């Protein structure tokens, strides 16, 4: 299903292969994407452009995804966050969701479910 708009999704992950695969999936569904491996650059761009949706990893070397989520709320409060992580930790899931994440997915999630989560997050930001 092709998105009828050109909303932008920001992707933040320290794993280039995950960025590439997730970016391709979103692109094939009609989304514009911006990819980042550096949380600081991600936050700087988010502050300037206020993306509708941001997909962030939790386990990153420079700054945890939970910290990125917390800072993102300050610089771009309307951005909806989706967590895409390799580790299914119930306490991390709870913290992310309590902090306002729209969805929490484990890497390897079925593409239809992931795209539906992105669409729902984008719809809730409007």
Quick count: other Cβ atoms within 10 Å of Cβ 21?
14
Domain 8-108 falls in which CATH fold? Rossmann fold (3.40.50)
Domain boundaries defined on the chain: 8-108
pLDDT of residue 7: 81
pLDDT of residue 6: 61
pLDDT of residue 126: 63
- For range 113-124, the mean pLDDT: 94
Q: pLDDT > 90: what percent of the chain?
A: 88
* Strand segments (E) across the chain: 8-12, 32-36, 53-56, 80-85, 103-106
Confidence label for 5 from pLDDT (cuts 50, 70 and 90)? very low
Strand partners, 9: 33, 53
pLDDT of residue 1: 41
Please state, rounded to an integer, the average pLDDT across all residues of the chain. 92
pLDDT of residue 3: 42
- For range 35-42, the mean pLDDT: 97
Identify whether the C-beta of residue 92 lies closer than 8 Å to the C-beta of residue 66: yes
Quick count: other Cβ atoms within 10 Å of Cβ 91?
7
- For range 47-52, the mean pLDDT: 95
Q: Give 65-114 pLDDT, tens digit per residue.
A: 999 999 999 999 999 999 999 988 999 999 999 999 999 999 999 999 99
Integer angstrom CA distances of residue 68 from 5, 50, 110, 119, 120? 27, 14, 25, 21, 21
């Amino acid at each position: 299903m092709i998105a009828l708009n050109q909303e932008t999704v920001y992707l933040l992950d320290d794993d280039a292969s995950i960025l590439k695969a997730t970016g391709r999936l979103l692109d094939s569904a009609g989304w514009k994407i911006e990819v980042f491996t550096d949380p600081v650059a991600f936050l700087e761009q988010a502050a300037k452009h206020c993306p509708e949706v941001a997909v962030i990893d939790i386990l990153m070397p420079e700054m945890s995804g939970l910290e990125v989520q917390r800072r993102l709320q300050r610089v771009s409060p309307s951005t909806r966050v989706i967590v895409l992580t390799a580790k299914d930790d119930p306490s991390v899931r709870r913290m992310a969701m309590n902090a306002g994440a729209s969805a929490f997915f484990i890497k390897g999630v079925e593409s239809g479910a992931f795209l539906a989560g992105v669409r729902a997050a984008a719809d809730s930001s409007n």
